[in-house]
Amino acid sequence: MPIRQTQTSFQSGGKSIRLDAYLPETADGAAVPAVIALHGAGGGVSGMDRYAAMLAAEGFAVYILHFFDRTGTESADKPTILRNFPVWMKTLWDATSFVEAQPEVDRERIALLGFSLGAYLSLANSAIDRRVKIVVEFFGGMPKEMNFFMRRLCPVLILHGEADPTVPVSEAYQLQKLLEKKKIPYEMKIYPGAGHGFEAEVWRDAGLRSLAFLQKYLAALEQ
């Protein structure tokens, strides 16, 4: 499916927030499911374009969210993350409001896809925002603080390296335990020997799993 790439922006907390949009060109102009993608603490979105283009070609409207725009952050260490996490959550909430209003988007079919810090943000927001129908999370976890605020959960794809030195694989197993306790559908792949960030073969496998999960739990919601 042909796609077009553009950049748009919205307002959050009085700041202009960028979104890199990868949009499928549907023959009938029908609304399509949307995926909001979030980068990690390094702040870079390079490499995410390949995922975005692949998903857009399969019929998903993909928006890469530059949530660091809200705080003027370039990269984030642990104190920066702790200080700004609630503000970034609000930025993601506002991004979801913007995306669901786009004419090409089916507002009933919105997913979040996050890497590391972006995965933590995606999971945290999914626990309070019913507009989020599924989460694909790469080497992240559910913030423990959300135990006090959790209103709901949605299906999650968990992708994690067994030897991750930055976000220990125990985070994946904790999330698995939570989802099983709440009887929420999930899929999980722990990659033996993989660290934080994946090598080429693992990326390819994770990409295929992401697409299959989105098609199963998001595209299938079409009325």
Whether residue 17 contacts residue 50, with contact meaning beta carbons closer than 8 Å, is answered with: no
Decide if pLDDT at 197 tops 90: no
- Helix axis angle for 48-57 and 200-217, nearest 10°, is 40
Decide if pLDDT at 223 tops 50: no
Dihedral sign from CA coordinates of 109, 188, 171, 62: negative
Contacts of 72 (CB under 8 A, 6+ apart): none
Mean residue pLDDT of the chain comes to: 93
Q: In what order do the strands lie in the sheet with 61-65?
A: 3-12, 15-24, 61-65, 32-38, 105-115, 132-138, 156-161, 186-191
pLDDT in tens, 71-109: 999 999 999 999 999 999 999 999 999 999 999 999 999
Structural domain boundaries in the chain = 3-221
List helix spans (H) across the chain. 48-57, 78-100, 117-126, 170-181, 200-217
Q: Which fold has domain 3-221?
A: Rossmann fold (3.40.50)
Length of the chain: 223
pTM: 0.96
pLDDT in tens, 23-76: 998 767 789 999 999 999 998 877 788 889 999 999 999 999 999 999 999 999
pLDDT in tens, 119-167: 999 999 999 999 999 999 999 999 988 888 888 999 999 999 999 999 9
